[in-house]
Amino acid sequence: MIDAKKMGFCLAFLLAALVLGGCEGAEARGSGDDDDGSSDSDSDSDSDSDSDSDSDSDGDCGLNELETFESDIPTGWTVIDGGTSAGAWVWADALPDEFQVATIIDGGALIDSHEAGVGATQDDDLESPLYDLGDCTSATLSYDHNFQKDLVGSDMGEVYLLPGGDGTPVLLESYETDSSKTSLDAESIEITASMLGEDTTFKIVFHYEGSHDLGWYVDNVAVDGSP
């Protein structure tokens, strides 16, 4: 027959073991929950960090300018007449017949050498406002245009970058042959910080030279910075 005291001792021992095992299991589960919570928190933090990084890389560095020349040569743009008084840059909503270009325009800057007449000369600039590269590392200059050259003329169009607004001109593009006869040509040119030297500001200049030739039309001038 089993001793009652021994049986009581065994039951007490088994009960204590069960209680202890249950506590340890609860602690283990609690620890696992904490680990999961920490992991979720870390994951959320990493996700936020990645989102911030993507936002910075795709961010706007502050330089976004567009001139569509809706109704006139706008304030801030400067026309410099370096030739005779006839044939300077003006606003126009139609291309001259002499261009023989089959396209419709909605208004832009035009210099018409042919209309200026025999004896008139053009050495004229259309100068933009001052732009600031600021926190941008580079910028893209884009514009639509149509350059038309007289068969026997010596006219040409040039696009310059002016560091600081009045620094030594940097030639970006030049035209001495006809543009399209059916549409405006779209151009895109990169401007880097190194092209500006120690400056962060700049102007864009559309320069035309001619003498009773044809002319040049410019529209939708945009300068967009890149971080």
Contact predicate 96/114, CB 8 Å: yes
**Whether the predicted pLDDT of 140 surpasses 90:** yes
Single-letter code of the amino acid located at 23? C
Q: What is the pLDDT of residues 6-17, one digit of tens each?
A: 444 444 444 444
From CA 222, how far away is CA 227, in angstroms rounded?
Answer: 17
Stated pTM of the model: 0.74
**Whether the predicted pLDDT of 100 surpasses 90:** yes
Q: What is the pLDDT of residues 65-91, one digit of tens each?
A: 999 999 999 999 999 998 776 789 999
From CA 70, how far away is CA 103, in angstroms rounded?
Answer: 17
